[in-house]
Structure 1
Amino acid sequence: MSLSYLIKEGVAGLSRARLAAFTSIFSLFLAVLLIGVLTRIGFNAYEVAQLLRQQVEIEVFLQNIDTQTTNELQQSIQNEPFVEELNYISRDSASMIFQQEFGMGGEALASLNFLPASFRLKISDDATVAQVDSLVQVVEQYHGVDEVQFNLALLELLEARTDQLAIGGAAIGMFILFIAMILVFNTIRLTIYAKRDLIRAMKLVGATNGFIRRPFLVEGILQGIIAGTAASFVIYLLFEWIVPTYLSQLGILTWPFGRWYYLIGGVMILAMAMGWWGSRWAARKFIKDTTISS
């Protein structure tokens, strides 16, 4: 079976059930458009959550210990899992930071040099709240550690909101995809019904189910290409022109992985895959008997 024949039959299938094909393409267009928009917004929300997470530091305040003990303690903490970076803040540096943050009014207090030395820890992005809390409990037991402070409530909130966003976005996306595939399924079913006499004749002369199915698969892929192209154009127009012009406060939204073509390529592949799968589903269901009832 030649490629030109498959494409010709696929295009012809679109014209046989025009209303159903338009409904299917439009549904696919809306589905991948919504998923593309949700993906970009969700990606930026995840980046913001990760940025906030990186700003949450664990501060380990030290007792009045000598240099050797401080170095040994620093090495021990650096060897702990999930510790990505460790910075030592001496008593003098702590006084300078205090003065910078509180301005002229903090000079008198800073001169007393009352602030203890400390370590500031940055934690790996993949560490969970439970793992960070476990790390804090371990560090608290080290000799020379006076107190450990970190914003547990903020980490818990960030993790909970990130999980909710991921679960909610995935559920909405799956629901949209399922509805769109149902419409592709119905479109291909109508096309098969319109060609039922020809399919009977093809089976009588020995055509296999696979041979008969292929044009319908091409039809589904063509629906996906049309819908994906339209959705890609709208997504690009939306985020490159409309949002920066009319919603400038949202103009800082970045493309996933820094380039527009990653998201656009994903939208095209998703649309084609949905069209192919919906048509395959219908074709396998309705082209399996030796006869097709009218």
Structure 2
Amino acid sequence: MFSSNSNRIFSNYFLVVVSISSVLFFLSAFIFFVLNSNKIIDDFKEKIPIVVFIKDEASKIELSQFEKKLSIDNSVKRFVYTSKDDAATKFSSEIGENFVEYLGHNPLLNSIDVYFHADKVETLFINDIVENFQKEDFVYEVSYDAPLIFLINDNFKKVKDWVLVLALFFIFISIILINNTIRLSIYSKRMTIKTMQLVGATKSFIKKPFIFTQIKLGFFSAFISSIFFISLIIYFNSNYFNIDLIIIKNSIIISVATSFALSFLISSISTNFITARFLNSKIDKLY
């Protein structure tokens, strides 16, 4: 009997922790995204290359002068030169066969991938830059993803506004979900609460252990969600975004702190109201 009761209590607490941890994890991730939306978009912009294809007859002096011009241009974040041989090796690796042997020659061109600072990745600025590049005698062609640049700049503000609205809505939903989880947890002990009241225990005395227990479960849930959240940030940052963690440190702290704060506030307030509701109910209403 004791073992069965212990297992039931453990199962109840386990479900509470899993439910609240899941909600807090998504809440932390959402808050982090809202706080870092500008940085994420900027990082994405700075990974869009303007590819300058170089004619085979271009001289080393022309290339050297062009690279020097790029290196002193404040709008340029970085540039990468790729020889036609390196490009052929990479393309052969991608398609799984040596196309140069098949064709008898290498049709690819030497190229320079130019990456600009985020504030310069605007349609008008990039169009001007492309026109200037195309004026160079040694340039065969300039290629870039114009629709992508337009899409990012045209829709970013709209997306950001909607994200803020969704963030507030998500916080509201999170509060409701956590409150319902706590209510279901305490509901199974409603008769115990009423029995303690009937034998003379004060309301504050009855509420304290329930509030304390739910706060502990809330903090434990926030701790678990924070571990998963920080691990996910490190993984995505290492594999996709490569943003300096020091730059996003404050937003990580805010997201985690919000998770702990909400777990404390919702756990304590919800438990207080839920236990008070059972205490104020007539015993026949509890069945």
TM-score of the pair, normalised by structure 1: 0.52
Structure 2 gaps of 5+ residues are 45-127, 137-150
CA distance in 2, matches of 1:103, 1:277: 63
Task: Give the one of 228, 237, 249 matched to 1:258.
Answer: 249
Deviation (angstroms), 1:201 = 0.9
- Name the SS for the 2:243 alignment partner: coil
Change (3 A) 1:255 1:33: farther
- Structure 2 counterpart of 1:231: 225
**Equivalent residue for 1:165, pick from 163, 166, 169:** 163
**Equivalent residues in 2 for 1:114-263, closer than 5 Å:** 157-203=155-201, 207=202, 209-240=203-234, 242-245=235-238, 248-252=239-243, 258-259=249-250, 260-263=252-255
Shift of 1:193: 2.6
Q: Secondary structure at the match of 1:287?
A: helix
- SS of the aligned residue for 2:280 comes to coil
Quote the RMSD (CA, aligned, Å).
3.9
2:27 is equivalent to residue 29 of structure 1: no
Quote the residue 1:59 is aligned against. Answer: none
TM superposition score normalised by structure 2 = 0.53
What is the Cα deviation at residue 228 of structure 1?
0.6
**How many residues align structurally?**
187
Structure 1 unaligned regions, length at least 5: 1-12, 53-97, 107-152
Runs (4 or more) in structure 1 with deviation over 6 Å come to: 13-16, 49-52, 98-101, 153-156
Q: What is the CA-CA distance between 1:31 and the residue it aligns to?
A: 0.4
Percent of pairs identical after alignment? 10
Q: Is the 8 A contact 1:40 1:256 kept in 2?
A: no
CA separation of 1:46/1:174 partners in 2, compared to 1, >3 Å: closer, same or farther? farther
The residue number in structure 1 matching 2:272 is 280
